[in-house]
Chain A
Amino acid sequence: MSLSVQITHRFGGFTIDTGFETGPGVTALFGRSGAGKTTIVNAVAGLLRPDKGQIIIDGDLVFDHRTGRHLPPHKRALGYVFQDARLFPHLTVLQNLRYGGRFAKRPATISEDGVIALLGLAPLLERHPAALSGGEKQRAALGRALLSRPRMLLMDEPLAALDAPRKQHILPYLERLKAEAGLPILYVSHAVDEIARLADQMILLKDGRVAASGPVFDVMADPAAIPLLGVREAGAVLRATVTDHASDGLSRLQVGAGPLELPGVKAPIGTTLRLRVLAQDVILSLDPPQGLSAVNSLPVTITGIHPGDGPGAAITLDASGERLLARITARTVKTMGLRTGLQCHAIIKAMAVAPGAIGAGPDAL
């Protein structure tokens, strides 16, 4: 399963000129509001006809401006989860779920009962959309898209309309979906934390063009991505395994370079999860830290120093094979004598990793 997009589209004085390919797993399409994300997804779904280019889904040429081919949406076999759910108001949740099945020509890969269990929809089946909360609507919309037996799921900011607690409630469902449905997903978002938890690959859009793309662990740790992600949002993603829960509320997690102690980890021992370590929360020290209140320190090697436009500089670090990103001032770089190849210590303040930035692995549910 693959998606290949190469399109040019002009609208309202703005030009999208984008080319990318996606494979299995979750591919995140990231960009600020107005970067052209929704336009691209609508073109993939067939809801919008681009000016130029080609779109290939699974070897199937669905759009080609040269031949004039533009397969209508209902023949593309893509599941689309919209930001605003768009459930059918006159149907119950169950009727909504069953809507796509009667048109589907592909064999079912996941049963109705399976979807209902996966998304916790059983108590909602007889209700109408008007009687659902925002999070429940999104879960129902997700189930409806899954049961239309799509080749791929398109999700356009599915959590953007939800408040933070609801978002935290629905994210585990998405992680479970990713693990169990085995469907490729194109996930559009402007929320870095969602992407850090869910995505395998990510594509950064800026002004309608692809600014960076690659595995999420690489792109997140790429200093060039900092201005695109935002200075406060930039930061590497680490894989960590839960090894112990202490009685004082701190948990021990093992990353490649050593142990970390973090609060608020609910996943059981043995779970592998993702940690997002914001670049601005990483402190560098030449000596092993002593007498500091921050408890987490990892031995790292500086792999690059990238001065930014302002007083800051991005430092890329290698932590036993994993990438970390630190953001400190250019003056500090000079006074500390930091240079590529230097070995030092990255100090991560325990409370710096917010609970929402910790992905609960699939086993955690």
Chain B
Amino acid sequence: MRLSLFVGVFATLLSLPLALWVAWLLARRDFIGKGLLNALVHLPLVLPPVVTGYLLLIAFGRSGPAGRFLEDTFGLVLAFRWTGAVLAAIIMGFPLMVRAMRLAIEAVDPKIEAAAATLGAPGWAVFSTVTLPLILPGILAGAVMGFAKAIGEFGATITFVANIPGQTQTMPSAIYTLLQVPGGEAEAIRLVLWACLLAVVAVLLSEWLARRVAARIAGG
């Protein structure tokens, strides 16, 4: 339970900047391979999660190319560790985050950004002073979606990092385990209620934040 929250927060914070950048690329830039990037980002959404988890295991396992590189260079091991659960959560939540942010960026009128440029603002300043404040609701919505996905992720996580109590056992895998054990229902129900509560709070929170930001933009 605590591990799930931890994984969720960590995954959300780590993927936020990258998701924002990819969303911006997809919304505002034309480049060769844009279609490919788009497909790649959305792949985890349509692939069976078990397949994603297995692919992660092949790439980031201790004998996989990326896994060996990370272990040799940074001493970072992902497979069957909580760090791997974070990676699985990032990969699975990424498409949802990018989607929400991309929609928000596309909703910002490029003419407003052009106006900022004519007032002397370089590209980074246009983004941070105009685009970013205007897409804040989209970022929040994307973050909440990514967070919800991260704490609920099951298929890719259990394939990539297994289900080791205290180490890689996230909330969904714990619920799954409890349901396999005779007499585990009571404990499972407790976790299910927690999951429901968490989801409701997350959605309400994001709604409230988004409304506050929208009101500020509209000058309400």
User: Which positions in A face B, CB cutoff 8 Å?
Assistant: 45-47, 72-74, 76-80, 82, 84, 86, 88-90, 92, 99-100, 103-105, 127-131, 144-145, 148
Tell whether, in the assembled complex, residue A148 and residue B120 are in contact, meaning their CB atoms are under 8 Å apart. Answer: yes
* Partner pick for A47 among B117, B120, B122, CB 8 A cutoff: B117
**Count of A-B contacts judged by CB separation below 8 Å:** 76
- CB closest residue in chain A, given B109: A86
Interface bits B167-206 vs A (CB < 8 Å: 1, else 0):
0000000000000000000000000000000000000000
Q: Which residues of B contact A103 (CB under 8 A)?
A: 119-122, 125
Tell whether, in the assembled complex, residue A130 and residue B219 are in contact, meaning their CB atoms are under 8 Å apart. Answer: yes
* Partner pick for B218 among A46, A72, A130, A144, CB 8 A cutoff: A130
Q: Tell me the chain B residues, 74-130 only, with Cβ under 8 Å from chain A.
A: 109, 111-112, 114-123, 125, 129-130
* Partner pick for B116 among A46, A88, A129, CB 8 A cutoff: A88
Interface size class of B (residues with CB under 8 A): 20 to 34
B218 to A: closest C-beta gap in Å: 5
Tell whether, in the assembled complex, residue A74 and residue B111 are in contact, meaning their CB atoms are under 8 Å apart. Answer: no
Tell whether, in the assembled complex, residue B219 and residue A47 are in contact, meaning their CB atoms are under 8 Å apart. Answer: no
Tell whether, in the assembled complex, residue A73 and residue B118 are in contact, meaning their CB atoms are under 8 Å apart. Answer: yes
Tell whether, in the assembled complex, residue A131 and residue B219 are in contact, meaning their CB atoms are under 8 Å apart. Answer: yes
Known: A72-B122, A127-B219. 4 other contacts (CB 8 A): A82-B115, A99-B116, A103-B120, A130-B218
How many angstroms between the C-alpha atoms of A77 and B114 in the bound complex?
A: 14
Does more than half of chain B's interface fall in helix, strand or loop, or is it mixed? helix
- CB closest residue in chain A, given B110: A47
* Partner pick for A145 among B119, B122, B129, B216, CB 8 A cutoff: B119
Q: Which residues of A contact B116 (CB under 8 A)?
A: 88, 99
- CB closest residue in chain B, given A42: B114
* Partner pick for B118 among A45, A92, A127, A130, CB 8 A cutoff: A45
Does more than half of chain A's interface fall in helix, strand or loop, or is it mixed? loop
Tell whether, in the assembled complex, residue A74 and residue B218 are in contact, meaning their CB atoms are under 8 Å apart. Answer: no
Q: Which residues of A contact B134 (CB under 8 A)?
A: 89-90
How many angstroms between the C-alpha atoms of A145 and B125 in the bound complex?
A: 17
Tell whether, in the assembled complex, residue A73 and residue B117 are in contact, meaning their CB atoms are under 8 Å apart. Answer: yes
- CB closest residue in chain A, given B119: A100
Tell whether, in the assembled complex, residue A74 and residue B217 are in contact, meaning their CB atoms are under 8 Å apart. Answer: no
How many angstroms between the C-alpha atoms of A86 and B111 in the bound complex?
A: 7
- CB closest residue in chain A, given B114: A47
Q: Which residues of B contact A128 (CB under 8 A)?
A: 217-219
How many angstroms between the C-alpha atoms of A336 and B218 in the bound complex?
A: 65
- CB closest residue in chain B, given A89: B217
Tell whether, in the assembled complex, residue A80 and residue B118 are in contact, meaning their CB atoms are under 8 Å apart. Answer: yes
Which 7 A-B residue pairings sit nearest by Cβ, starting from the closest?
A128-B219, A103-B120, A100-B119, A86-B115, A80-B118, A73-B117, A90-B217
- 20 A-B pairs whose Cβ atoms sit less than 8 Å apart in the complex: A47-B118, A73-B114, A73-B117, A74-B120, A74-B121, A74-B123, A76-B118, A78-B118, A84-B111, A86-B112, A88-B130, A90-B133, A90-B217, A99-B129, A100-B120, A103-B121, A127-B219, A131-B219, A145-B118, A148-B119
